[in-house]
Structure formats: C-alpha cells, structure tokens
Structure 1
C-alpha cells in the first residue's frame, strides 16, 4: 500500500512541512500540486483541464460573489458606530450585577456576529470598546480578554458566516441550509458563555466587580426606548439578510448585497459614512477577498492532482484499516481537526482537509435515516464549531493576536492564553452536544420556509 500511494502521501507531508515554513499557503498549495504533477508524470493536458476547472468552478462561481459582499457589510457595520451605542445601553441594563459588563460584551458579540460574520473585525471592535472599561472597572484580565476573544469568534459560526459559504461550495450543499443549521448551535454557544459568566459572577464576584455608578452611561433616554433605538438597526439588518435567505426570498449572494447596502445606510444614519471610511472598507474587503480566493484556487489545484495520484483511495484504505465504527471515525476526525486548529487557519483546514474527508464521510452510516444532504449539513456544522476553536487555541489562534495587538503590551500573551481555556472547553461542550443530539443542528433546516 505504501509504495502504491507514495506520491499522495508525500504531497501531504510536503504540505505540512511547507506550512510551518510560513510560506504563503496559496502559493504552497498550487506549487506542490504542479510539482507533483511533474514528478508523477501526469499528462500536461490534465493540468490544462485543472485550469479550466478553476475558472469554471471558482472564478465563475456565483456563490463566491457573496464573500466580498459579506466582508464589506461587516467592515462597514464596524465603522457605523452602532456597536458602541449598543454596548453603552447594554451596560446600563446589566450594570447592577456582577459580570454585567462581560455579559453585555457577550450579547454584543452575538448581535454583531449575526450582522457581520467577520471575526477579526468583531474581536478588535469588542476589544477596543469593552476591554478598557472592564479593566478600569477592576475585572480580572483573564476574564476580560477571554470573553472578548470568545464573543468575537461567534461570527465564524452564527450566520451570515463566510466559512459556511465556503463549506457549502466544498461539500456541495445548500448555503441556506447551513445558515439555518448553524443558528441554533451558535446561539446555544452564546448562552453557554453567558451562563459561565453568571456562575463566575456568583462564586467569584471579585473577578468581575460591580461598576462605579458614576461610570455608567448617563443617557437621559429611558432604558426601554434606548434599547429599542440601538437594536432596531442591527435587527433590521439581521432580518433582511438572514430572514430573506431562510424564507427562500433571496439567495445568499443576493442577501449579501442587501446586507452591504444596509450597512452603508446604518453608517450614513450614524454620521460615519464618508469617503475615508468607504475607501478603507473597500481596500480591506479587496485584500480579504483576494486572500480567500487565492487559497481557493491553490487548493483546487492541489486537490485535483492529489486525487489524480490516488490520494482519495489512500484515505479510504487508511480509514478501513482503523476498524473504527462511524462514531469512532467521526470522533477521530473531530480530534484531528481540533489539533490542526492549533497550527492552521480555518480556510486552510476547510480547503485541504475537508475534500480529503469527503469520500469517507459520504460512505458512513449512522443509522439515523438522514438524507445525504442532511447528513453533510450536520457534519459541516460539527466542523464549523470545531474550527471556531482554531481562533482561540495557541500558539497561532488569530483572536489571541488581535487581542495582544490592541492591549499595547498591558496584558501578557500567557495571560491571554489562559483566558481562553474555559471558553474552548465550552466550545467543545457545544460540539459534543451537537454530536450526541443531531436535532440541535437539523431542527431548523427541517422546518418548511
């Protein structure tokens, strides 16, 4: 077996070693694919076919237009000032209980996750808004940084999520179904965060002291009216984007366009729609989109050559040799994805690992009587919850470095590492619940629009 699959095995080894060199992954994927096509004596016309597949399957894919639109929506919403006003109002609501400010940050993270889906923007925004207030109020640094990092990463799971858009393309399942399936687990994870904060506030109140009444926002507007005022914009945007997809009124791409336009309207209402912000948001959107699509192109080349060399059959034989049942294989895959998340980004795992796992997944039978699409939706959400931890797990968790960057050296990286441990455990608890009870994931997609 080893001799028969030597080249695809070496492709994986070279890829892993190459990633640790820090070389751009997009170039690495495409370069390894071309290199092993030459080593494997693959006919040149096949490489031409790979190029055609890339243009036909990636560049011309209508679904991928949603990526820059969702990125633009999230970045523009960050500039709108909506988040700052909402945090101040939520602080008024929960300011009289231990951990109230942290709960406000968690709720803001949920609202912004359902409005943006951009992890980097959410973590930085929550950190800049909430961290100084929490530290000034006397919060333990581990609590302040942990809740900011964890709440900021909800955007990768709660729709509209760019990761779910890409997973829909990789697994060839409906993005609308993935959005529906991710909503309940995402909200459940937010509830777990808030429950944890309430417990810490009760048993360790000194970690999250009550605020000085003079530090609370003294907006003369009555609290119910202030909540309504500050929530109406994000709620309308959420309903316009997610509601139109879930009701079957709009495709994800069309809904993303609605969201981008709505974010500009909110920025205009907030007095923050100007040339500088529009230029910055457009520039950052272009960079993020180019990075994502470049990796997609490289991964398409790598995957096509890998399969041509028999890599998919190698994976199937390796799986058969384990002797594990369906749940054993599923647990093995989840453990592998979790460990890879310590070193790789979610997009690399999605485009390199998922295509390798797909042949195995499609042949697994859990005896649940699900259609193949429903099963793939369930599996995709399990992977999405798992990949959310990759933003928090050291040494390369991106949320950790975002936080380190905005604390100006006031909080050490080891403190930030310790702060995310409880929240990673909560994420793994949510993953286990969704594995044990698939209805958590499949209930909403099973309802008629």
Structure 2
C-alpha cells in the first residue's frame, strides 16, 4: 500500500471522526484539506515519498472558489431560497390547510392526505425542508391529536411530506448537482417531476390503505361536512396562485423562455407579490426573509468552499482513481455497481447531510457511472441521459437522509415543534414506513427508467 492510498484512507477516517465533534462541517472539510496538504508535503520531505502535494496545492483552491462565485447557475440558489422563505411568510399554507381539510374531511385518513398534498405543493414552491416540516407540524399536529390520530402515524406523515421539496423542482439540491456534474438544470428539473410525484402518491396510497385496514389509526372527524361546490371553489382559490407561480417558473424553464437563473428571479418576485396580495408583506417580513436567505446561502457556500479544499487535496492524492478502481473491480456487473453505490449513499445518509454527499461523493462517482454500460435511452437533446437518470437515483436515495437517524434533519425539525409528551422514538417509528416507500420508489426508478426520461422526451419532441 503506497503513501497516497494511506493518506486517502486517513482523510476519510479523520473526516468521519471529526463529524462527531460538533464542529461546523465547512470548517471540518476545509481544515482536513489544509492538514493533509501539509502532511503530504511533510511526507515527501522527510520520508522521501512522492504524494504529488506541495504548498502550492492550496493555492489552487483560490481559483476553484473563484469559479464557484463566478458561476451564474448558482445565482439561482439564493433566489429560490428567497422564493421559498417568502412563500412561507405569505400565509398560503394556512389557507391550503383550511380548504383541503374540508375537501378530504369525509375520507378516512383525510387529514393525513391533506398534509401530503400540501407537502407536494410546498415542495414545488418552497423547497426549504426545515420550513416545510415546521409549518406542516404546527398546522396539522394539533388537529391530528384532536382527531385521535395514531401518534407515530401522524408524526411520520408530517416528516415525510415536509421532505418532498428536496426532490420536486425547483430544488436547490438539483441546482447544485447540475453544477457539480456539468448537467443542465432544466434537464434535471424535468427528469425529477414524475419521480417526485410518484413518491408523493406512494405516500397517499399508503395513508389510504393503512387507514382502511386500521381505522383506529386515522379516525373520521365527528362533524365532517359534505363536499360541496363551495368547498371545491375554496380549494381552487387557495391553490391557484401558488400553482400559477410554479407553472410560470418551471414552465419558462421547460419551454426555453428563461434560464433557471432568470426563472428563479421571477419566482422570487412572484412570491413577494403573493405575500403582498395576502397582506403579509411589510418591512419586518422583508428583513426576516432576507436574513434567513442570507444565512442559508452562506451555510451552503461555506460548505462549497470547505468541500472544494477537501476534494482538491483528495484528488491530488489520487483518491478519485482509487475509488474508481475499487468500484470497477467489483464482481457485481454494471447494474450491481449502481446498486452498491446507492447502498453506500443510503448508509452515508445516516451520518451526512445531502450537501456533503453531493459536493464530495457525487463528483467522485461520476466517472465510474459514465464508464458503465447501462442501457438508458432518452432524447438526443439531453447530453448525458445516463447521468441524468443516475442523478435521479441519488436524489431519491438522499430523500432518506432526512428521515434516517441519528442525524435525520427532518426528525429534529419536527421534534423541536412537537408537544413535550412526544418522544423521539415515536417519530422514529412513524417515519419507518415512509423510508420503505422511498426505497420502493427508488427501486421503481431503477426498473423503469422511463419515469425519469419520459417528460424530457416529450418536452424535446
């Protein structure tokens, strides 16, 4: 085993150990990169090895950071974040909850269906997981408890519905993935529409079937009013503005009228106008939205910088070649290697956030997947349909990272706004069926790639 292999393994082990110290992940990534650049130089000088590292390696980070900051695609990140936070402040979700609760009032499990439906709408309009989970919990959990819903069932529904925003476009995760793998953001947005809807409908199907076989899990309300034309009209009035904004943002991208960056600006403006229309826009709201947008954007870009330093040193040590030779040497066949990669990402999701996995792991795996002989076909207008399909598999797998303990962020967002009598074990029990549904959706995308490629094929004629 040569010095480079030892250093690569030591980098990963150090990273894993430092995760449990509580230090900010951006500092951990950047610090490990700087540390091992000096370790490699020290090894060359005092032990006569040749790792390929010297002090100028860290100077290359400056050029990489400049490339990140000069990337127009990433301008869409703060705009989509602003759009999501502003919609969160616009009181739209409350109106949706009130109207849809009346629409599904006579359906067993109707309140859980309402939560999932609103989760889908919020996913396509906000994409901010923390905001969606907290908002859904605060609006729906008191009503579910009053209606005597099974507690783990109610908690799992809220947590799972709130995480749909990481997959359903416009998704900031897909923007970052497109940047890291040099793919079209529009292609990824189109490819993610049906996988996201598939996952949402699987949730609804589970809720309906589970409520049918276990009536005590989701009792009917005692005084549910019958559905009338007035109720349907109320739902349409509540959903139409948000759906119109989603259509304008995504439709302009899909039709080629606007780039994702331009469409994100339109979305931010549209969300502001909706807040004004609902009489929720004032100076305090604007300051709060700008502050939250700045904090979230700074958090993401800090990890960008740390991951850039870490990845540069890792690649200088030959870490990408080591990973590629390890994976291609496995006796599983091409699809077996894909399944193994997804299993590793699923396992990493227990301990890492999706941002670290996207910025560190995904670029290292791209050359391996590109070299595989996978029979994935799609429109010629998509430059790399195989990689688009693989990205959708990774995105679906990363859905689980929000629900899997010990660091599933949706679990902690939910626990933070629950009543004191709710135990974290209740949340764990509640999300387990939804994790199984996420894995079922992942298997469906593997077996039926057309779910990913159909909409781009239609869009490109």
Given the alignment of the two structures, is residue 31 of structure 1 paired with residue 31 of structure 2, yes or no?
yes
Indicate yes or no: 2:421 matched with 1:413.
no
Instruction: Decide which of 177, 200, 207 is 1:197's aligned counterpart.
Output: 207
TM alignment of 1:14-53, pairs within 5 A: 14-41=14-41, 42-53=53-64
The answer to whether the 8 Å contact 1:88/1:217 transfers is no
Contact 1:182 1:441 in 2 (8 A): yes
Q: Distance in 2 between matches of 1:320 and 1:201?
A: 46
| Partner Cα separation in structure 2 for residue 341 and residue 46 of structure 1 | 30
CA offset at residue 221 of structure 1? 8.4
User: Is 1:328 paired with 2:336?
Assistant: yes
Q: Match for residue 70 of structure 2? A: 60
Return the alpha-carbon distance in structure 2 between the equivalents of residues 319 and 204 of structure 1.
Answer: 45
Partner in structure 2 of residue 209 of structure 1: 219
- Once the two structures are superposed, what CA deviation does each residue of 1:89-138 show, in whole Å capped at 9, x if it has no partner? 11111101110111011111111111111111111111111111111111
Contact 2:195/2:445 (CA < 8 Å) preserved in 1? yes
Root-mean-square deviation (CA, aligned residues, Å) is: 1.7
Contact 1:71–1:118 (CA<8 Å) still a contact in 2?
Answer: yes
Aligned-partner Cα distance in 1 for 2:346–2:106:
38
Alignment of 1:396-411 (within 5 A): 396-411=407-422
- How far off its partner does 1:241 sit? 0.9
Unaligned 5+ segments in structure 1 are none
Within the candidate set 135, 141, 144, 2:145 is matched to 135
Cα distance, 1:347 vs structure 2: 0.4
> Is the 1:362–1:372 contact (alpha carbons within 8 Å) kept by the matching residues of 2?
no
Q: Measure how far apart 1:217 and its partner are.
A: 11
Structure 1 residue runs of 4 or more that deviate by more than 3 Å after TM superposition: 1-4, 367-372
Could you tell me the TM-score, scaled by structure 2's length? 0.94
Q: Secondary structure at the match of 2:458?
A: coil
CA distance in 2, matches of 1:213, 1:422: 30
SS at match of 1:5: helix
Shift of 1:4: 4.6
How far residue 25 of structure 1 moved from its aligned partner, in angstroms, is: 1.1
Which whole-Å CA distance do the structure 2 matches of 1:174 and 1:63 have between them?
10
Q: Is 1:104 the counterpart of 2:114 in the alignment?
A: yes
CA distance, structure 2, for counterparts of residue 410 and residue 120 of structure 1: 21
Structure 1 pair 247–173 and aligned structure 2 pair: CA distance change class (3 A): same
Q: Please name the residue that 1:155 is paired with.
A: 165
Work out the CA distance in 1 between the residues paired with 2:459 and 2:146.
49
Partner Cα separation in structure 2 for residue 110 and residue 123 of structure 1: 12
Q: Distance in 2 between matches of 1:48 and 1:336?
A: 32
Aligned to 1:9: 9
Give CA deviations for 1:408-432 in whole Å, capped at 9, x if unaligned: 3131100000000000000000000
TM-score (norm 1): 0.96
Deviations for 1:141-179, whole angstroms, at most 9, x for unmatched residues?
111111110000000000010100000011110011000
Match of 1:311 in 2: 319
Q: How does 1:292-307 map to 2 (within 5 A)?
A: 292-307=300-315
1:259 aligns with 2:267: yes
Where structure 2 has 5 or more consecutive residues not aligned to the other structure, the ranges are: 42-52
Contact kept? 2:203, 2:437, Cα under 8 Å: yes
Whole-angstrom CA distance in 1 between matches of 2:353 and 2:29: 14
In structure 1, the residue matched to 2:188 is 178
Q: Which residue of 1 aligns with 2:44?
A: none
More off after superposition, 66-75 vs 222-231? 222-231
> How far is the alpha carbon of 1:372 from its aligned partner?
6.1
The Cα of 1:49 is off from its aligned counterpart by 2.3
> Partner residue of 1:245?
253
Alignment size in residue pairs: 446
1:430 aligns with 2:441: yes
CA positional deviation for 1:28: 1.1
Shift of 1:50: 2.3
